[in-house]
Amino acid sequence: MSIFAKESQWNLFWSRLPTKYRRAIIIAIPLVSIIPAIAGWAWSYQAKSNAYWWINHTQKVINNSNVLMQLALDAQTSVRGYALTRQTEFLEPYNQAVQVIPTQIERLEELLLDNDQQQQNFQQIERQIQTRLNLLAQILSVLESTPQPENRLQLTKLYSQDKVEMNRLRNLVNVFKAEEWRLLDLRQQKANQVRQVTNIWLSISIASVILSYWLAIRLYYQSETKLEKKAAELNQVNQTLSLTNELLEERNQELDQFTYVVSHDLKAPLRAIANLSEWLEEDLKDQLDQDTSKNLILLRSRVQRMTNFINALLEYSRAGRVNSEKTIVDVQKLLREIIDSLAPPPEFVINISDKMPTIETKALPLQQVFSNLISNAIKHHHHQNGLVTISVQENQEEYQFSVADDGVGIAPENQQKIFAIFQTLTARDRSQNTGIGLSIVKKIIDEQGEKIWLESRLGRGTTFYFTWAKN
């Protein structure tokens, strides 16, 4: 297969590839080349740091051994100067060496913890230094305790021994330093090798990064034509969507008007039926038996329920579709206003947490959610002296509100049904509830992009939780 045929197949494959995959490949190519470069740089940095640390360590050992040797020489020179002049000023270097040499020995012992062979060599040096210090101390003792004519022979012998011991110390130190110089040379060679490998790796990395960016740019320009075509198509789609939204807005307005008209036209005959039943009851008051009176009352009850259904349908159709501007909402104040409007029984207790926030949001949807949840907690409670607790928990991007009651609770098999429209847990003959309040709450919560759920046990009450964005 020719190169041109392969390139044509590649272009065809690339043009058919989804945009998100092409973008991922274009971004991945430079990243894939950069990752080895970063890994190589990290290795190089670590290797160079390690090599230079060992070089510095070896230099410290050599420097400290030089200092130790110089202290030994200073001590010898100091004692001999004192022997010639008998002036105590000459003993200052000796006294200083006696004080500093132990510290210097400890420092070298710490530096040699990584090298067993050098530890053994240094132990010989340490013993030799101690021998020399003892010998110098004997010379000083002879100088101070024996008159000069009598001590000449003894001093000559001690000086001769000191010279021998000093030469032995020099030889031991030279062997010790020779090993350190050998280690220093090896470690410098390793540092040079690391530097060479680093330079080669950086050259390869730079070349690969340049090549990968060139390839990414080429692929980017290959996809530009398709992206421009897609942009034109999207522009056309956006125009179509804009027209569709305008039509949808018109249809929504027509639906609102239709709903209003239908509800008005349906409620008018229902009101007439209710009025007629009342008139019949008044006109035939003395002629109606007990069963007929009950049937007329039941008729008006059914009419009222039908009216409630129509109102509920109207409210449900409008839930979440009322446009309102965002305002600063004091949730504590909002809840007080809702509770005041609901007018719960005097014995009923509603506790509101002091931690209620002030947020920037659309007030009406939040008011509808709280109003329906609190209203349900009051309406379906089995006691007049019930308790409702409203609290909040602040999360990173949202608030989690909860409305908890101590009512009869909801059985597990009914907990998902209650959010469906017209679903009630009590017989409609026993309650005028339409079963639409929680449906409205669910619809508003869904349209806000939030979540709602509940926890409940029979006889233990119910807690509704819902989230609301901070902004």
**Are residues 153 and 36 part of one domain?**
yes
Among the candidates 221, 253, 274, a domain finishes at 221
Do 47 and 177 fall into the same domain?
yes
Asked whether residue 202 is domain-assigned, the answer is yes
In a domain, 263, yes or no: no
Are residues 172 and 30 part of one domain?
A: yes
Q: Where are the beta strands (DSSP E) in 293-441?
A: 326-330, 349-352, 358-362, 387-394, 398-405
On whether residue 98 sits in a domain, the answer given is: yes
Whose CA is closest to 443, among 365, 370, 348, 343?
365
User: Per the domain annotation, does 293 fall within a domain?
Assistant: no
Does some domain include residue 256? no
Whether the Cβ atoms of residue 453 and residue 465 lie closer than 8 Å to each other: yes
Name the domain boundary from 161, 195, 221: 221
Domain that holds residue 412: 324-469
Residue ranges for the chain with pLDDT beneath 70 = 1-26, 28-30, 33, 146-151, 213, 216, 218-228, 230, 248-268, 270-272, 274, 276-277, 280-281, 283-288, 293-294, 296, 298, 300-324, 420-435
Model pTM? 0.41
The answer as to whether 459 is a domain residue is: yes
Residue 144 and residue 11 share a domain: yes
pLDDT per residue as tens digits for the range 368-405: 899 889 988 888 887 888 999 999 999 988 999 999 99
In a domain? residue 296: no
| Length of the chain measured in residues | 471
**Distance, CA of 211 to CA of 36 (rounded, Å):** 14
pLDDT tens, position by position, 399-447: 999 999 998 888 887 777 777 655 554 544 444 455 577 888 888 888 8
139 close to 79: Cβ distance less than 8 angstroms: yes
- Output the domain CATH number for residue 442: 3.30.565.10
Which of 154, 187, 221 marks a domain boundary? 221
In-domain check, residue 455: yes
User: Are 216 and 345 within one domain?
Assistant: no
- Give every CB contact of residue 239 below 8 A, 6+ residues apart in sequence: none
Domain count, the chain: 2
217 and 335 inside one domain: no
